[in-house]
Amino acid sequence: MFRKLDDTISVAGQIMPEDVAEAAAQGFTSIINNRPDDEQPGQPSSAEIETAAKAAGLSYRAIPISHAGFSEDQVQAMREALEETSGPVLAFCRSGTRSTLVWALARSRMGDDPAALQAKARGAGYDISPVQPYLGAA
């Protein structure tokens, strides 16, 4: 269910409030929600996931990204979330793709090598080629 990009972050498709306890049991310390509320009927709200995260002792941040694309503010918010966490992060969206793409952009701005980011994403089953031209951009 959770796909490990590296020791600091894993990504997932939509999680449910009951999945948060499993995330905590696996050692995650923070959840980042990259999915907008009401994107699909029946998905849990950001507030429901946040409540479950707090109950499990995890930090929580919502950085919703629609299918319209990324803004520099969203990339910066992801960077800040990654820098401020004290342990492994679980980021999720509908399929894990947007979470992986914004992670790659944020990590690139933190100085990570684009080829290494590509390899990590590929190893977890994700393709970051749509953002490849922006990796390493200031």
**Distance set, CA 118 to CA 67, 128, 130 (Å):** 21, 6, 11
Q: What is the pLDDT of residues 34-57, one digit of tens each?
A: 999 999 999 999 999 999 999 999
Q: What is the pLDDT of residues 85-101, one digit of tens each?
A: 989 999 999 999 999 99
Q: Which CATH superfamily is domain 3-134 in?
A: Protein tyrosine phosphatase superfamily (3.90.190.10)
Q: Is the pTM of the predicted complex or chain greater than 0.85?
A: yes
Res. 29 pLDDT band, cuts 50 70 90: very high
Average pLDDT over residues 2-25: 97
- Reply yes or no on whether the pLDDT at 126 is more than 80: yes
